Amino acid sequence: MATTRGRIVQINQVILDQADFFEADGFTRTVALTPGANLTSQLFFKNELQPWPFVDGSAVTDAQVTSGNVYWTEIPGSPGNYNVRFRPNAIGYWRLLVTFVSGEQIAAQDYDVSSQVPLAETGLRASFTRPC
């Protein structure tokens, strides 16, 4: 079973997402999945595979997420629900695949990373009121 969808995000924004993997019945969530033991990941930037390691992120806060790693965590208090995070460091098309090998399932997500939106307005502003 493969799941895929797309999102628009900004460069250097921490990507917070979730991945779902199920038992053979297609309903019961699989618990205690860990990078390396049960899962693999592939991260592509502009259709080129990136060498970013897939690591346990349970001790990493969102503020500590750095470019160069993909972080995986089972959500505390919600067995079988998983959080995946990374920080894209370039503008363009990104695609993340997380594979549950023995369960024969893949979660795939596309990200269109754009430049940051300016915080202040720029340019001229027309005014049609006359001062008194």
Residue 94, class by beta-carbon neighbours within 10 Å (0-12 exposed, 13-18 middle, 19+ buried)?
A: buried
The reported pLDDT for the residue numbered 6 is 75
Give the rounded percent of residues in the chain with a pLDDT score beyond 90.
Answer: 76
Domain range list for the chain: 2-114
Mean pLDDT for 114-118 is 75
Question: For 2-114, which CATH superfamily applies?
Answer: Immunoglobulins (2.60.40.10)
Write down the pTM of the prediction.
0.82
> Tens digit of pLDDT for each residue in 22-51?
999 999 999 999 999 899 999 999 999 999
